Amino acid sequence: MFSAILLEKNDAGVTAGVRAMEESSLPEAANPVVMSVSYSTVNYKDALAITNRGPVVRKWPMIPGIDGAGMVLESSHPRWSVGDAVVLNGFGVGETHWGCLAQCARLNGNWLIPLPQTLTARDAMAIGTAGYTAMLSVLALEDAGVAPGDDPVLVTGASGGVGSFSTALLAARGYRVAASTGKASEKPYLTQLGASEIVDRETLAVAGKALQKERYAAVIDSVGSHTLANACAQTRYGGVIAACGLAQGMDFPASVAPFILRAVRLFGIDSVMAPIALRERAWAELGKAMTSDTLQVIAPTTVSLAGALNTAHALMEGRVRGRVVVDLNQ
Ligand SMILES: NC(=O)c1ccc[n+]([C@@H]2O[C@H](COP(=O)([O-])OP(=O)(O)OC[C@H]3O[C@@H](n4cnc5c(N)ncnc54)[C@H](OP(=O)(O)O)[C@@H]3O)[C@@H](O)[C@H]2O)c1
């Protein structure tokens, strides 16, 4: 038997609860690896699934949890042996395939990467998809030629998971970071992560002109909607934007002016189906960049499976700073 959060759909709606499950109930997977999950986390997508606020879950019943870190218990995959320490991010886990808010998961071995040697399983879940997406975004900017310089990089949704890691990673690499937040009370936190200026998110959240004062060399945006449109309008000539989220909205009410008059480039970031080589590159960089001090600042809180249910609601209500780790043995 193992414990898991189970999401069930019935006539009354969707229920979420901690349940005792039989290992035999785990769904089949190609190239199967059974993983003992020691830590997971609550991402924005997990919170949407648990609170049923977005169409994340595609099959019912579902165990949520798009991230997991733990150890291989059984393997039919040539790359993995019993006892290997592994990490899972995305690939539809927690959406179409039972996920890692569970003590046990049966996964396709092709979806796994090795836990970087410098990180513990808890560290990896403090980072989770949010930190890995922040790293993918930083790599996209740098691959496009962005380097530390005079103009700052704008990070939106800065006190959230992706935003916190984007701020910390960019600052550690020598960038000046302008952190946009809706919470004035988070200024000390963002300054501690390395932000050199704080931007009131209200200045970006409403419709603005197609071209505005050139302020930023680059942008990591986890918010979308008017915020992304204004970020494009404030990016300097030749600048680069990594669009990775939709916390404000999925719409993009923008003008082509920044792209055709200022040669601004807009890159999309997807963590879910990113190829293994890119994941391993991002996680290797995270393994080098992330100190336990930074992880403790961003993800000081560890909860049980039952606590993950409360965390999902708090996250949807904007009451979570940084990240929350789930200990499957708590
Ligand atoms: N592309 C990918 O593969 C990928 C991977 C991971 C996450 N994501 C997406 O990235 C986004 C952020 O994820 P996360 O885990 O960082 O979530 P999160 O921890 O909830 O952070 C989101 C942050 O956005 C800001 N925000 C929330 N509502 C807003 C609104 N209405 N208008 C403007 N800003 C708002 C808040 O920051 P402030 O209070 O500081 O303003 C909030 O902390 C989500 O949309 C998620 O789905 C995408």
Burial state string for 292-301 with b = 16 or more CB within 10 A and e = fewer than 16: eebbebbbee
CB 42 within 8 A of CB 312: yes
Q: How far is CA 141 from each of CA 146, 242, 279, rounded to the nearest angstrom? A: 5, 7, 16
pLDDT for 150: 83
Domains recognised in the chain with CATH numbers? 2-115+300-327 (3.90.180.10), 128-268 (3.40.50.720)
The H or E element that residue 103 is part of is: none
Q: Token pair of 180, please?
A: 């946009």
Q: Which of 155, 223, 319 to mutate to test the pocket of ligand 1 (most atoms within 8 A of CB)?
A: 223
Q: Ligand 1 atom 41: the closest Cα is on which residue? A: 181
Q: Is the CB of 166 under 6 A from ligand 1?
A: no
For 304-324, the pLDDT digits (tens) are 999 999 999 999 999 999 999
Radius of gyration of the chain (CA): 20
Sign of the four-CA dihedral 312, 308, 188, 126:
negative
Going from the Cα of 46 to the center of ligand 1, the distance in angstroms, rounded, reads 12
Determine whether the shortest distance from the Cβ of 43 to ligand 1 is under 6 A: yes
Two structure tokens written together for 139: 């790599």
Name residues of the chain where pLDDT drops below 70: none
What's the rounded Cα separation, in Å, for the pair 221 and 138? 11
pLDDT value of position 22: 96
Cβ of 54 closer than 6 Å to ligand 1, yes or no, is no
Is the beta carbon of 129 within 6 A of some atom in ligand 1? yes
Pocket test for ligand 1, best of 41, 44, 323 (most atoms within 8 A of CB): 44
DSSP for 257-324, please give it. Answer: HHHHHS--EEEE--SSS--HHHHHHHHHHHHHH--HHHHHHH--EEE-HHHHHHHHHHHHTT---S-E
Instruction: Name the pTM for this structure.
Output: 0.97
Q: Can you give the pLDDT at residue 261?
A: 98
Question: Of how many residues is the chain composed?
Answer: 330
Q: Is 316's C-beta closer than 6 angstroms to any atom of ligand 1?
A: no
Q: Take atom 28 of ligand 1 and give the residue whose Cα is closest.
A: 247
CB of 195 sitting under 6 A from ligand 1: no
Cβ–ligand 1 distance for 42 under 6 Å, the answer no
